[in-house]
Amino acid sequence: MADREAHTGGCQCGAVRFRVTRLGRPSICHCRMCQKAFGGFFGPLVTAHNAVWTRGEPKWFQSSNAARRAFCGDCGTPLAYETRFGLELAIGAFDDPRVAAPEIQVNLTDRQPFFAGLSTLPERHEVSDEWRDFMAGIHSNQHPDHDTADWPPKEET
């Protein structure tokens, strides 16, 4: 997956941003540490050979004797995983996560037993008027999926 196009991303609140032009293999890690770090059933990660932090700096948690994990200290978004083998970025933190579609699953011993059946769960397509009204009233404070000169935006006076 090596390329030279710039890929950007960052946390939900916009305090920490990154840029990378050389990606490695995207994966889904099922280890228990990734499950807890992401608060999900797996950790979606992609090797980032030349990532740089372009706004702010993440906070780091030494999750084991061999790895540390980066996250936004303001909003808590998981951002990266680092070992002596290098840095991996959270795929969901990219402005366009499609640039790193997972190619492999790793650490299967901790994979949740229901994981394989998730895609077979029923889907709800109908939307109630109450839910539609609720969603229409939401104003997102989330950083947009692109770089910005400043964030948060300056309030007009």
- If one compares 3 and 78, the residue with the highest pLDDT of the two is 78
pLDDT of residue 1: 47
Distance, CA of 11 to CA of 70 (rounded, Å): 11
Q: How is the chain split into domains, by residue range? A: 7-113
Average pLDDT over residues 83-105: 97
The confidence band for 139, taking pLDDT boundaries of 50, 70 and 90, is confident
CATH number attached to the domain at 7-113: 2.170.150.70
pLDDT tens digits, 21-41: 999 999 999 999 999 999 999
pLDDT of residue 121: 93
Compute the mean pLDDT over every residue in the chain, rounded to the nearest whole number.
Answer: 93
pLDDT tens digits, 27-77: 999 999 999 999 999 999 999 999 999 999 999 999 999 999 999 999 999
C-beta of residue 54 within 8 angstroms of C-beta of residue 146: no
pLDDT of residue 149: 85
* Reported pTM: 0.88
